[in-house]
Amino acid sequence: MKIAVLASGSGTNLQALIDQLHQDETSGVEIAVVISDRRKAYALTRAKKAGIPTYVVRVRNFPDRDAFDAEISKILDRCEVELIILAGFMKLFQPAFVRKYRNRIINIHPSLLPAFPGAHPVPDTLAYGVKVSGVTVFFVDEGIDAGPIIAQVSVPVFDDDDEESLLKRIHIEEHKLYPQVIRRYAAGMLEIVGRKVLVKES
Ligand code: GRF
């Protein structure tokens, strides 16, 4: 299955997908393209090192967000992508884009949704004082971090955690969970029933 990974930042999740899926022929997953909205995203360097085609699509180069989305859509369709993976992609798509790729966009978020959605989940988690946080992988819908949840893993929050220490613990789980979920999607094991995502054993 050809997938696209969209990333704005350092791309440690992309790296996990390269190592555990793209470079494992038994995974059935090929990262056909990596797209970023930031020219300097280190994710682009990681993709190039792995020989994966990259594109930069910047919001400022388009008259509006529909035009930005359309450019990304053009690349995805040209690369015959079947699944879109958001991995630290810091732009929201318009509803028309989500409708076009319904149930074919997956995102990862560093909290146990529906707790702490939005752009600052880790500081929000620490500020609230919860004892448990984690990782959520979900299908993207028209809401913000609101679509059907595919998988979650918890991590403890310690009294002396700061953003760096908590994020480090979360990243360890992200890098295991994201490849596992995508492998299952590619194997046809995920079924969406209303808000629930069922995992069928193959
Ligand atoms: C991850 O923590 C992910 O949960 C969030 O953005 C971060 C991306 O990190 N959506 P990286 O660029 O993969 O290192």
- Residue from 8, 10, 12, 13 whose mutation best tests the ligand 1 pocket (most atoms within 8 A of CB): 13
Tell me the torsion sign for CA atoms 26, 183, 5, 124.
Answer: negative
Ligand 1 mean position to 159 CA, how many Å? 23
pLDDT tens-digit map of 135-161: 999 999 999 999 999 999 999 999 999
pLDDT tens-digit map of 35-69: 999 999 999 999 999 999 999 999 999 999 999 99
Q: Is 87 in the pocket of ligand 1 (CB under 6 A)?
A: yes
**CATH number of the domain where residue 60 is located:** 3.40.50.170
Backbone angles phi, psi at 80, to 5 degrees: 55, 45
Domain assignment of residue 19, yes or no: yes
Q: Which residues of 41-58 are buried (b: 16+ CB within 10 A; e: fewer)?
A: bbbbebbeebebebbebe
- Enclosing domain of residue 159: 108-197
Ligand 1 mean position to 86 CA, how many Å? 9
pLDDT tens-digit map of 80-123: 999 999 999 999 999 999 999 999 999 999 999 999 999 999 99
Domain assignment of residue 202, yes or no: no
Element at 149 (helix H, strand E): strand 149-156
Q: Is 9 in the pocket of ligand 1 (CB under 6 A)?
A: yes
171 flagged as catalytic: no
- Out of 86, 101, 116, a domain closes at 101
pTM above 0.85, yes or no: yes
Q: Is 174 in the pocket of ligand 1 (CB under 6 A)?
A: yes
* β-bridge partners, 36: 56
| Whether residue 74 is found in the same domain as residue 91 | yes
Q: Are 6 and 75 in contact (CB under 8 A)?
A: no
Query: Can you tell me the distance from the alpha carbon of 196 to that of 13, in angstroms, rounded to the nearest whole number?
Result: 24
Query: Can you tell me the distance from the alpha carbon of 81 to that of 1, in angstroms, rounded to the nearest whole number?
Result: 8
Q: Is 152 in the pocket of ligand 1 (CB under 6 A)?
A: no
| Whether residue 80 is found in the same domain as residue 123 | no
